[in-house]
Structure 1
Amino acid sequence: MINCIIVDDEPLAATLLEKHISRVSHLKLVGTAENAMDAYQLLQTKSVGLMFLDIQMPHLTGIDFLRSLSQKPPTIFTTAYRDFAIEGFELEAVDYLLKPITFERFFKSVERVLRHKTDTQEDFIMLKTEGMTRKVPIREIVYFESQGNDIKTVLVNNENIISKATMTDLESVLSGKGLVRIHRSFMINTQFVTAFNTNEIVLGTYHIPVGRSFKSEFDVFVTAISKGSVNQ
């Protein structure tokens, strides 16, 4: 799902965009604005993955508004004028749509954003728990702990997930993704390491022991972190 906003001072044009957005299940409209200042407030309070931005607006044009932003969301310009196309693409806009915008042309533009989002999708792991399969981003996992026939997954929000898996299963899936097995019962996410010695690794408030049979993995970890190359 991509959160999007409409910035347009023409009510009819904004209404048409709202209708187009409602027809695409992967888009969610989270706000509309009639000028750049209102749009700026939306960007400060909402997580915006796509902005539909008119060019000719009062006080500040869409071109100047986008140029002023230090953090620019993916943007599709919407305008009745062809004259600003070059400036729009110089700002790395996703597309430049001429009004009136047909749904076919709208969807072709949006599809570029959806395709790019799919291509850059973050790493995750699927965990089977309580009769459900849960998708968990790897960046939210602090460590895994083996508990008999189960695996406890500890997340950054202190939530624990108990799932049916083995450490061997996890190692085969998570190879090369910044996780290191340092004990028969523990695998850690190296991005959360705050301290370590030869016997344990500290992940914030968690102290994880280093197993004797995993000293070689520990040595690789120490070498990598000393070079600043542990994280992906």
Structure 2
Amino acid sequence: MINCIIIDDEPLAAALLEKHISKIDRLQLAGKAENAMDAYQLLQTKSVDLMFLDIQMPHLSGIDFLKSLSQKPATIFTTAYRDFALDGFELEAVDYLLKPITFERFFKSVERILRHKTDIKEDFMMLKTEGMTRKVPIREILYFESQGNDIKTVLLSNESIVSKVKMTDLESLLSGKGFVRIHRSFMINAQYVTAFNNSEIVLGAYHIPVGRSYKSEFDAFVKAVNKGSVNQ
């Protein structure tokens, strides 16, 4: 599956994109945002492979927003104006779609990603443990736990890998990839959260405490989750 988000302040345009996305089995809508700040929060709490990004938005344009990201998902610009095409391609956008976007044109754009998987690279981490270096897909990581001078990496398979790495380095490496620091000792993969309250977050069988000093990160996570909920 290719996780995608829609960033557009025009409700009708966003609804049309959502309809197009629903017609392609390999695309999964991970969330929607109406401005750059909400989009940034989505990127902090979701694993995002592809962005459908409007150019003209309030406060910060789509072009400036993309320029601000250190880790850039594959991006398809959407706009009602031709004038920004050169800027879009200079930022190595996958495509540049003019509104109103027909499904035929949408599919042609997305097909480039569906056909060429290298357009969306699978991210890996190299973890040194017990004299070996392990290549671990980021999507298989459930959470990280600090244990003294070591970090325990817990995988979806329930396997644990203990390695010498700093939590601050992990935060920098995984910025924009859906991981959230919620405690001095814990950083989680937000896409696997199954429940939460003010004091803990649940990832399947694991209960992770929320630290008081990480309340702002936790609040951003909750806001993003509630924004995408059908029970608002």
Could you state the TM-score of these two structures normalised by the residue count of structure 2? Answer: 0.53
Shift of 1:8: 0.2
How do residues 46-195 of structure 1 correspond to structure 2 at under 5 angstroms?
Answer: 46-117=46-117, 139-140=135-136, 157=155
1:39 to 1:25, Cα distance in 2 relative to 1, 3 A: same
- Three-state SS of the structure 1 residue aligned to 2:56 is coil
Shift of 1:121: 7.2
Amino acid at match of 1:77: F
Cα distance in 1 between the residues matched to 2:121 and 2:52: 22
1:29 aligns with 2:29: yes
Q: State the partner residue of 1:205.
A: none
1:159 to 1:11, Cα distance in 2 relative to 1, 3 A: closer
1:83 to 1:72, Cα distance in 2 relative to 1, 3 A: same
Shift of 1:88: 0.4
Q: Per-residue CA shift, 1:4-28, capped at 9, x if unaligned? A: 0000000000000000000000000
Root-mean-square deviation (CA, aligned residues, Å) is 2.8
Amino acid at match of 1:35: N
* Percent identical residues: 79
Q: How many residues align?
A: 136
Q: State the partner residue of 2:17.
A: 17
Q: State the partner residue of 2:184.
A: none
Could you state the TM-score of these two structures normalised by the residue count of structure 1? Answer: 0.53
Q: Per-residue CA shift, 1:178-221, capped at 9, x if unaligned? A: xxxxxxxxxxxxxx999xxxxxxxxxxxxxxxxxxxxxxxxxxx
- Three-state SS of the structure 2 residue aligned to 1:113 is helix
1:160 to 1:32, Cα distance in 2 relative to 1, 3 A: closer
Give structure 1 regions of 4+ aligned residues with deviation exceeding 3 angstroms: 118-122, 138-141, 156-161
1:77 to 1:112, Cα distance in 2 relative to 1, 3 A: same
- Three-state SS of the structure 1 residue aligned to 2:57 is coil
Cα distance in 1 between the residues matched to 2:36 and 2:79: 15
Structure with larger Rg: 1
Q: Is the 8 A contact 2:2 2:50 kept in 1?
A: yes
Q: Per-residue CA shift, 1:142-201, capped at 9, x if unaligned? A: xxxxxxxxxxxxxx849599xxxxxxxxxxxxxxxxxxxxxxxxxxxxxx999xxxxxxx
Cα distance in 1 between the residues matched to 2:83 and 2:119: 32
- Three-state SS of the structure 2 residue aligned to 1:31 is strand
Cα distance in 2 between the residues matched to 1:89 and 1:17: 21
Unaligned ranges ≥5, structure 2? 123-133, 138-153, 165-232
Amino acid at match of 2:16: L
